[in-house]
Amino acid sequence: MSSEYTPLLTKVRVAQPRPRYPHAVLRRFCTVALASVLIWFFIAVAASMTFLDDDPHDDPSDGWSWPGCGKRKVDYDQLQRILLDTPTSKHAEEWSRYYTSGPHIAGKNYSQALWTKNKWEEFGIKADIVSYDVYLNYPVDHRLALLEKKKHDDDTSAWKVSYEASLTEDVIEDDPTSSLPDRIPTFHGYSASGNVTGSVVYVNYGTYQDFADLVKANVTLKDKVAIARYGGIFRGLKVKRAQELGMVGVVLYTDPGDDGDVTEEKGEKVYPDGPARQPSSVQRGSTQFLSFAPGDPTTPGYPSKPDAPRQPVDTAIPSIPSIPISYKDALPILKALNGHGPKADDFNQYWTRNMGLGYKGVHYNIGPTPDHVVVNLYNKQDYVTTPLWNVIGVINGTIPDEVIIVGNHRDAWIAGGAGDPNSGSAVMNEMIRSFGEALRQGWKPLRTIVFGSWDGEEYGLIGSTEWVEEYLPWLNHANVAYINIDAGVRGTELRTAAAPLLDHIIHAATAAVPSPNQTIPGQTVHDLWDKRIKTMGSGSDFTAFQDFAGVPSIDIGFNSGPGAAVYHYHSNYDSFHWMEKYGDPGFVYHRTMAQVLGLITAQLADLPIISFRAADYARALDRYVKQVEDKLDAALAPPSASTIEASSLIDDDTYFELRGSTRNTSTATLSSASASSASAETFKTTLRRLHHAVDKLAVPAAQLDKRADELAEELKRDIPWWKWPAKLRLGWQVRKVNTKYKFMERAFLFEEGLDGRPWFKHVVFAPGLWTGYAGAVFPGLVESIDDEDWVNAERWVDIIESRLKNAARRL
Ligand SMILES: *[C@@H]1O[C@H](CO)[C@@H](O)[C@H](O)[C@H]1NC(C)=O
Ligand SMILES: *[C@@H]1O[C@H](CO)[C@@H](O)[C@H](O)[C@H]1NC(C)=O
Ligand SMILES: *[C@@H]1O[C@H](CO)[C@@H](O)[C@H](O)[C@H]1NC(C)=O
Ligand SMILES: *[C@@H]1O[C@H](CO)[C@@H](O)[C@H](O)[C@H]1NC(C)=O
Ligand SMILES: *[C@@H]1O[C@H](CO)[C@@H](O)[C@H](O)[C@H]1NC(C)=O
Ligand SMILES: *[C@@H]1O[C@H](CO)[C@@H](O)[C@H](O)[C@H]1NC(C)=O
Ligand SMILES: [Zn+2]
């Protein structure tokens, strides 16, 4: 990340006025210049004219006019003002109330798509509905019961139901969303239908390493039903591993131990009376194998048009049934495990994280439960191929082949969704309304801006993925950046992830927006931000842009931090009432996020030089190579007691990255020592080549940034009209720099894709194979190290090195 950012507005205000040229002369010049230039140069010319406005009142870097002919009506400074002044909390609240007033699960609410399109058009932005025919499931029926075989006096025995799970969330009087007659049942997207019965095994978070520990301890998994806590890794991967190990079903529950201090146990009241988790709340969600490929599982890599050929789905979604339950429903099952098998704290330290031992009488035994204590899990899903609807809005810019895209999904697992995703939808609407206001005042954007309201994100990023797959050639040619907002507001703590090219834009935009928290007067969003920018993983709609199309992306939102009210993720209680009472009273953070999002978009779309920092990318790559080296060193070193002790202190990201690794920890250090560690040592030497390649990239990257800064300076200078060749040259140079920036991220795509998951084409960023949400850097290398496959690791060094060299050459 760059520390050299300047708050946008401050920078803009210091611009000095310059002398004016007579308009008649200007017009004549326009005619002559435009008529005499070759078509091939048209864009460069348009751009140069555009940037080099002769009007005295503007700094040319932030003002322009339609090809040089007259004053730019709304310059960059004014645009930013409009984007800051237009959004209101009242509007955001209104949009939130609309979206959360009825169910809008993927493919079921055309009227919300239509409403969104109409609203955008009302705001002055042309919009269309784009549909795809996708494979989805809807819930039909389910059951989860704890059964015990009881001996009768006459020595016969019979199964008795000792607990029948409710599988529903309580109706809460204060929260009208919880009582809607058409509210959506609790279920998993892409879960398999089935009716299975078996003993239960507690599998902790269900990470790859949790299962490895169970295997090592000889806990029988085959034909058993797993009960796993939610958290850390993508839920579909928990089901995937259970399935691979022969388990017949999976029950996922939310453990309040993971809610930190905001629990009933620690004296907090539960929702709606307090900030703690409502015990009947259930996290719905997709069980697609997200880290292998998102999108419609029947059309990997190509759009789900009605006539598209369809592939089998076996490797993309589970074949064993799974069901999400509340903590309330989980308690009897966890208690039935008491006294059976080892206890979690007999296992390693990774099993006692956030455990709250003895909470409500649960001892966290692993099981399995004895043969006479089983659960019956019945899940019936209706699978259909059905249309879903993206809404796509467009503001055409002057430069047709430099496009900025901003997106948010609209679909939710529940009727509410006030946080996920419709806080983002409300924020998007406010931002779009603001851009509409700018257009109304006469603003003409430099780059084209596209807005996407995606459908079907929740099932597997479907709407965005199918759209990217359909428009890939155009995106490849024209898309400069993608900005994602999913759950835009569910608390007050800014959370960001971004491709390194874009890091500095987050700094700039947040520094120009006042925080709703004015405890210290004048503090900005930037002041209260932890300044952490995560690497791009998955779990939202940026995935297809970043990992498949090689478009640098941002993901941003206000999350709930430690100590804040528990957010009921994918539950009926992610409702308007919760948002109004706990998440964002007064919708002030909604307004703030609309301002931040607007400024990010404006900075990318409306400055003559694309706001990228290539040197930041080179620096980040160097860091990532170092991370891989550290990982290799850890693999080569004997496990030390200190790393084990420290595990209780490590943060969530590190914990789940470690637990999502496939490294065989039972082979204390590298297996059959001599042979393989020799190749590991060789590999270590090979890896150094990447440092060299990054160093080679860093030089032209820094030069490009320098060139961009020089051009920005030159654009501020006044070039008299009769020096039109100089203007043309400058325009051409700006064009050249912008083109280099635009294609830089693309250089890291590898057509064959990652090992075993060819859809993922980016060699630097991908979701961790067994984490799903969290980003892995250099996944090809990391996975090879985990597998101790040094031949493949060498192959990945070659692949990455060639991308780095190619990127350096292109710069
Ligand atoms: C679609 O959403 C709107 C607004 O949230 C809601 O009023 C309507 O009932 C929903 N329609 C369906 C078919 O669920
Ligand atoms: C934008 O430009 C394209 C291509 O020139 C055109 O087809 C489209 O109608 C324009 N859209 C708007 C909203 O003006
Ligand atoms: C599930 O299977 C059991 C037998 O294994 C049967 O008794 C029960 O009726 C089945 N449940 C449903 C809903 O079909
Ligand atoms: C697991 O079983 C194997 C073979 O049956 C045995 O060698 C090993 O000691 C057992 N491990 C544990 C932790 O019980
Ligand atoms: C508000 O700002 C103050 C001062 O910077 C800070 O200490 C406090 O944690 C902030 N509160 C919230 C809810 O962000
Ligand atoms: C881990 O390594 C041990 C010893 O080499 C081997 O027996 C075991 O099968 C391996 N486990 C996995 C999951 O690869
Ligand atoms: Zn979401």
Backbone angles phi, psi at 371, to 5 degrees: -55, -25
Selection from 699, 707, 728, 694 nearest residue 797 by Cα:
694
Q: What is the band of 71 on the pLDDT scale with cuts at 50, 70, 90?
A: low
Are residues 485 and 498 in contact, defined by beta-carbon separation less than 8 angstroms? no
Q: What is the pLDDT of residue 676?
A: 62
Strands 373-395 and 126-151: antiparallel
Range 289-299 average pLDDT? 96
Say how far apart CA 48 and CA 748 lie, in whole Å.
30
CA 667 to centroid of ligand 6, rounded, Å: 7
Angle at 77 between CA 72 and CA 79, to 5 degrees: 75
Cβ of 88 below 6 Å from ligand 6:
no
Q: What is the 3-state secondary structure (H, E, C) of 665-694?
A: CCCCCCCCHHHHHHHHHHHHHHHHHHHHHH
Q: Which uninterrupted H or E stretch holds 322?
A: strand 322-325
Query: What are 509-542's pLDDT values in tens digits?
Result: 999 999 999 999 999 999 999 999 999 888 899 9
557 residue type, one letter: G
For residue 209, which ligand has an atom nearest its CA? 6
Cβ of 669 below 6 Å from ligand 6:
no
* Residue 752 CB-density burial (10 A; 0-12 exposed, 13-18 middle, 19+ buried): exposed
Cβ of 156 below 6 Å from ligand 1:
no
Pair of tokens at residue 273: 């009376």
Say how far apart CA 362 and CA 315 lie, in whole Å.
36
Cβ of 215 below 6 Å from ligand 4:
no
Question: Which residue did the predictor score with more confidence, 639 or 736?
Answer: 736
Cβ of 518 below 6 Å from ligand 5:
no
Question: Which residue did the predictor score with more confidence, 409 or 354?
Answer: 409
Say how far apart CA 425 and CA 419 lie, in whole Å.
9
CA 478 to centroid of ligand 2, rounded, Å: 15
Mutate to test the pocket of ligand 6, among 241, 666, 770 (most ligand atoms within 8 A of CB): 666
> H helices then E strands: how many in the chain?
24, 18
Query: What are 417-476's pLDDT values in tens digits?
Result: 999 999 999 999 999 999 999 999 999 999 999 999 999 999 999 999 999 999 999 999
For residue 526, which ligand has an atom nearest its CA? 5
Secondary structure letter of residue 539 according to DSSP: S
Q: What is the pLDDT of residue 716?
A: 87
Q: Which atom of ligand 4 is nearest to the CA of 217?
A: 13
Range 300-324 average pLDDT? 97
Protein residue with least CA distance to atom 10, ligand 5:
517
Query: What are 77-136's pLDDT values in tens digits?
Result: 999 999 999 999 999 999 999 999 999 999 999 999 999 999 999 999 999 999 999 999
Q: What is the pLDDT of residue 721?
A: 82
Question: Which residue did the predictor score with more confidence, 727 or 643?
Answer: 727
For residue 676, which ligand has an atom nearest its CA? 6
Q: Which of 762, 783, 784, 788 is catalytic?
A: 762
Radius of gyration of the chain (CA): 28
Mutate to test the pocket of ligand 1, among 98, 109, 413 (most ligand atoms within 8 A of CB): 109
762 is catalytic: yes
pLDDT reading at 371 higher than 60 = yes
Q: Which of 457, 469, 783, 788 is catalytic?
A: 457
Cβ of 667 below 6 Å from ligand 6:
yes
Cβ of 680 below 6 Å from ligand 5:
no
Q: What is the pLDDT of residue 99?
A: 98
Say how far apart CA 47 and CA 399 lie, in whole Å.
7
The maximal CA–CA distance of the chain, rounded, in angstroms, is: 110
Angle at 326 between CA 172 and CA 572, to 5 degrees: 40
Are residues 359 and 334 in contact, defined by beta-carbon separation less than 8 angstroms? no
pLDDT reading at 695 higher than 90 = yes
Residue with tokens 């010049």: 29
Say how far apart CA 515 and CA 593 lie, in whole Å.
10
Q: What is the pLDDT of residue 719?
A: 84
Signed CA dihedral, 471, 476, 479, 481: sign only: positive
State the chain's mean pLDDT as an integer. 90
Residue with tokens 């455990």: 355
Q: What is the pLDDT of residue 562?
A: 85
Other CB atoms within a 10 A radius of the CB of residue 1 amount to: 18
- What CATH architecture is 616-810? Up-down Bundle (1.20)
Q: What is the pLDDT of residue 60?
A: 40
Instruction: Bin 550: left if φ > 0, else alpha if -120 < ψ < 50, else beta.
Output: left
Q: What is the pLDDT of residue 666?
A: 59
Please report, to the nearest 10 degrees, the dihedral formed by the alpha carbons of residues 621, 627, 633, 635 taken in order: -120
Are residues 572 and 415 in contact, defined by beta-carbon separation less than 8 angstroms? yes
Query: What are 538-564's pLDDT values in tens digits?
Result: 889 999 999 999 999 999 999 998 889
Range 489-507 average pLDDT? 97
Sheet with 200-202: strands ordered across: 200-202, 225-229, 249-253, 322-325
Say how far apart CA 637 and CA 639 lie, in whole Å.
6
Angle, helix 76-85 to helix 588-606, in steps of 10 degrees: 160
Cβ of 401 below 6 Å from ligand 2:
no
Are residues 574 and 282 in contact, defined by beta-carbon separation less than 8 angstroms? no
Say how far apart CA 364 and CA 356 lie, in whole Å.
10
Q: What is the pLDDT of residue 639?
A: 59
Q: What is the pTM of this model?
A: 0.91
Q: What is the band of 40 on the pLDDT scale with cuts at 50, 70, 90?
A: very low
Range 187-210 average pLDDT? 98
Query: What are 764-786's pLDDT values in tens digits?
Result: 999 999 998 878 899 999 999 99
Three-state DSSP state, 582? helix
Say how far apart CA 537 and CA 603 lie, in whole Å.
24
Other CB atoms within a 10 A radius of the CB of residue 161 amount to: 10
Is the CATH code 2.60.40.740 the one for domain 77-135+396-609?
no
Q: How far is CA 107 from CA 1, 84, 158, 411, 486, in A?
A: 39, 34, 44, 8, 18
pLDDT reading at 382 higher than 80 = yes
Q: Which atom of ligand 3 is nearest to the CA of 195?
A: 1
Strands 533-534 and 493-498: parallel
Are residues 499 and 745 in contact, defined by beta-carbon separation less than 8 angstroms? yes
Cβ of 806 below 6 Å from ligand 2:
no
Range 697-711 average pLDDT? 98
| Sequence-ordered list of residues with C-beta below 8 angstroms from that of 809, at least 6 positions apart, any chain | none
Pair of tokens at residue 334: 């966890």
Q: What is the pLDDT of residue 44?
A: 56
CA 214 to centroid of ligand 4, rounded, Å: 11
Name the residue ranges covered by the structural domains of the chain.
Answer: 77-135+396-609, 141-382, 616-810
Q: In the beta sheet, which residues pair with residue 757?
A: 754
Q: Which atom of ligand 5 is nearest to the CA of 564?
A: 13
Other CB atoms within a 10 A radius of the CB of residue 311 amount to: 16
Are residues 130 and 304 in contact, defined by beta-carbon separation less than 8 angstroms? no
Q: In this structure, which CATH number among 3.40.50.180, 3.50.30.30, 3.30.720.210, 3.10.20.30 belongs to the domain 141-382?
A: 3.50.30.30
Question: Which residue did the predictor score with more confidence, 359 or 774?
Answer: 774
291 is catalytic: no
Query: What are 261-285's pLDDT values in tens digits?
Result: 999 988 999 999 999 999 999 999 9
Are residues 578 and 489 in contact, defined by beta-carbon separation less than 8 angstroms? no
